[in-house]
Structures are given as structure tokens and as C-alpha cells.
Chains A and B, each alone.
Chain A
Amino acid sequence: MRMLRGWRRGLLVVLVCACAWGVVGIVFPRRATRASGAAGYVTPGVFTPAHPSAFAAVKDFVDIHPEHPVQPIAYTHKVHLAKGLPCTFCHVGVDQGPEARIPGVTVCMSCHQSIATDRPEIKKIAAYQARGEEIPWVRVYNYSESAHVRFNHAPHIRAGVDCAACHSDLTKQTTAERKIDLNMGFCINCHTQKKVSIDCETCHY
């Protein structure tokens, strides 16, 4: 058995060497450089290679998103909606095309030039505008890049789908919260109920 210990040490050495070989292979891959070596834009999405870290990849893989992202401005949907503003006042384009505009300082200040100018949050917006900066809103709803979803708002709105069906009731929220998990089951469920196409290529292309 004493012999064994020696051999086990040998085994350890071999294992270390093997790992080192693996690491060397990764550090100095025998793959020649791509078209360029300079800073490249790598598409976000998919598993590890595209993510900044393995952790981020796993989060994406298991579909974890922050439910209530912290926004730079404590905007309140509740108050604005209560005052009777329609969604499209700020979210321009949502009934015309795929995307909804996230309003910037210009939109905010078009009213708040004169309304509630003394509120601290409004002052913050004014300060952004003064610096020539846009409000760095944090995205609440989005699809993982690897889902390859080409969602288009306009047909949904034309079909009379209520905004709240996907974005939950914003009259009860300040900054938007991701209350509804927009996964494929959610979409399929509604599409099936409304008897619209559930062909893959309706959304994925």
C-alpha cells in the first residue's frame, strides 16, 4: 500500500499535467486570428461564448430577469395614467410598428418645462437635459437574444390586445415592473385562445 501512495502522487502529477494541457490549449488556441483582432462586437445571446460571464449565461439560460429594475428617475406610471395620458403619448410608434419608443428628456420636458418643475425628480430630468444627456432608462421587458423572437407590437394593438395583457396593470405601478413572464408558453396560450397562428415562423425568424 505504500507503493500505492507513490503511485497516487504520480497520478496527481499526471492529472495536473492534463489540466495544464487543457488550459494551454485554451490560452493558445491553434486557431488563427479572425479577420481582425481589434475590439469586436459580439452578438449577445446564447450560452457562454456570447455572455460576459458564465454566470450571466446561466441566468439567461434559466430565464432569470430582474423583476423590478431600478430606474434613474422614479417615474410614476400611476400618476400619469390617472391624469389621462394615453400610453402612446410617450410610447410613440407602438401602434405603427414593432417597437415602442421609450421617451427621452425631450418628451418629458415638453410638459415638465412648466408642470411640477419644483419636484426633485423633475429637477433631475432638467439636469439631464441641461447636460445634453438622455435618461439612462433600464430596460424592463425584453426577450433573450437567443430566443430569436421578432415581436411586433402593432398587429397586437390592432387586434385589440390590451397593453395590460402583457405589461400588467401599469395604473398600479410607479416604474414598470416585469410582473408577467413573457415566455413562449404565455404567447402560445394567448395565440391558441384567440385562434391565431402558432406557426413557428409567426414569431421566430
Chain B
Amino acid sequence: MAHKWGMVVDLDRCTGCEACVVACHAENNIPTAGEDQAARGRAKHWIRVERYWEGDFPNPRVRFQPVLCQQCDEAPCEPVCPTYASYHTPEGLNSQVYNRCIGTRFCANACPYNVRFFNFYNPEWDKPLQLQLNPDVSVRSVGVMEKCTFCVQRIKAAEIQAEAEKRELKDGEFTTACAQSCASKALIFGDLNDSTSEVARLASSNRGTKLLGELGTKPNVTYLERGTWEDANHG
């Protein structure tokens, strides 16, 4: 059976520690923009932890919300690309083909989640920081759009490994860098087509919602709403 990679973000578990953010930078060769460029709004974080305040002192509440590419089934970014750089893979990934990208940035405008990032400059690393670069992942060059890939290099590596060992790739053999680092297990990655997988089980939880689900983008990322102590123990 074909795989369908998906993720569950449990907002009740997320602590806002941002380990996922650094993990993503390290795994995916995301360049550091520097203060000046960051001030111009060009810092790249394929995954970010959004923070929303609710209420005022003395009763403020905070809502953390990790946002990454939702890998939509009906992705608004895909049809608008004139060169097919942004397209849907057979496994349901919302893929960005860097070498095919001519940089119209239409996809980034069309994306309601603002999870696409553009290489305004060629990325630079102060020597020898470049030695850290992951050879399994392209270093994107100037004029190219990039975004969360669900760590496609890990998917590919696992698929090739499974194929070499002449067996089926199973859920749980690998995970994305962000999910791997997530201490409170707020991020769960896996195969939605495997009904026994943790991600499939959680995705059908009654706490599940889709981010901006009303837009009909059909994301493959499911958010699990925060619970309350009262509901869980006294409801």
C-alpha cells in the first residue's frame, strides 16, 4: 500500500521549547540570516512555534502552535506554480523542486500558512560552519523557494534501505528531525495509510482540528486541541 506521510501536532503536549526549530535548521541546511536580514523579515524557520496571547494580566493565557508546511492535499501553492516546481508527489508530499523553481514567489503568496521561504541571497556560512551541512540535503541557492519537506531525505533513505532489504517500509522506522527531537512528543510523524500507526490513531482523535481547515486545503498535519484538567478528570 502506498504511504501517506502525515503529522500530528499535539498542542496539549507542546511546551514551546523550540528544539524542533534548531533540529530543522541542523537537518535541512537552513542558513542563518543574521540580525540585519532577520530584521528585514528574512529569517527562515521551516517550523516555527507561534505564540498567541489570550487575556490580560493577571489571567493571561498563552497558546503555542507549531506551524510547519501542512503538506496539503489541496495545496494552494501547487497549481499556481508556472513551472511545476511546487507539485504533489504520489506519496502526498507537497514537494518543492528547487532546480525547477524560477522564483516567481507566487506559491509563497498563495500559501495561507506563510510557511514558504525564499532565498533572497545565496546562503553563506562563515567558515568552517559549512562543514556541518548535511550532504543528504540540497543547499538551496539564490532565487529559489524552499519549505518544510517532511525531511524527504530521511524518507528516501528509509525507502532505499527497505528496498535494499527487500521489505516494506513500515511506520516508525524513521521520523522527521523535528519529531525526533520533540521531548514532550508533541510532534508525531508517520504513515497515515497505516491504520495501526500512532499518527493515524491520533489524527482521528476527537481533539483533532486542521489549521485554517475552513479554507479547504486538506492538510496532512492535524492539530490536537489543548485539553483541560477539569474535562479530563471531572467531566
Contacts and interface: CB of A to CB of B under 8 A. Distances in A.
- Determine direct contact between A and B, CB below 8 Å: yes
Contacts of A50: 122, 141-142
Contacts of B126: 35-36, 38-41
B136 A40 contact: no
Contact of A46 (B34, B87, B137, B141): B141
Contacts of A34: 34, 36-37, 124
Interface size class of B (residues with CB under 8 A): 35 or more
B160 A152 contact: yes
B122 A46 contact: yes
Interface stretch (B65-73, B89-97, B189-197): B89-97
A145 B95 contact: no
Nearest to A35: B34
A146 B37 contact: no
B123 interface: yes
A33 B36 contact: yes
B97 A201 contact: yes
A175 to B, nearest CB: 26
A25 B207 CA distance: 56
B80 interface: no
Nearest to A45: B141
B106 interface: no
Contact of A41 (B93, B121, B124): B124
A205 B28 CA distance: 10
Contacts of B156: 150, 152, 201, 205
A146 B141 contact: yes
Nearest to A147: B99
Interface string A34-74: 11101111110111011000000000000000000000000
Given A40-B127, A199-B90, A204-B100, A32 B138 contact: no
Contacts of B33: 35
B131 to A, nearest CB: 9
A176 B84 CA distance: 36
Contacts of B97: 148, 200-201, 204-205
A199 B142 contact: no
Interface centre among A31, A43, A50, A146 (most CB of B within 10 A): A43
A42 B33 CA distance: 13
B139 A39 contact: no
Contact of B95 (A35, A39, A155, A205): A205
A201 B123 contact: no
B125 interface: yes
A2 B167 CA distance: 87
B138 A148 contact: yes
B153 interface: yes
A84 B214 CA distance: 66
B32 interface: yes
B90 A150 contact: no
A194 interface: no
A33 to B, nearest CB: 7
Contacts of A83: none
Interface of B: 32-37, 84, 87, 89-90, 93, 95, 97-100, 121-130, 136-144, 149, 152-153, 156, 160, 163-164
20 contacts: A33-B36, A36-B34, A38-B126, A39-B126, A40-B124, A40-B125, A40-B127, A41-B128, A43-B123, A46-B122, A150-B137, A150-B138, A152-B156, A152-B160, A155-B163, A155-B164, A158-B164, A201-B89, A201-B152, A204-B138
Given A38-B126, A200-B87, 19 more contacts: A35-B34, A35-B35, A35-B36, A35-B126, A40-B125, A41-B124, A42-B122, A43-B122, A43-B123, A50-B122, A98-B136, A148-B138, A150-B137, A197-B90, A199-B89, A200-B97, A201-B95, A204-B98, A205-B95
Interface of A: 31-36, 38-43, 45-47, 49-50, 98, 145-150, 152, 154-155, 158, 197, 199-201, 204-205
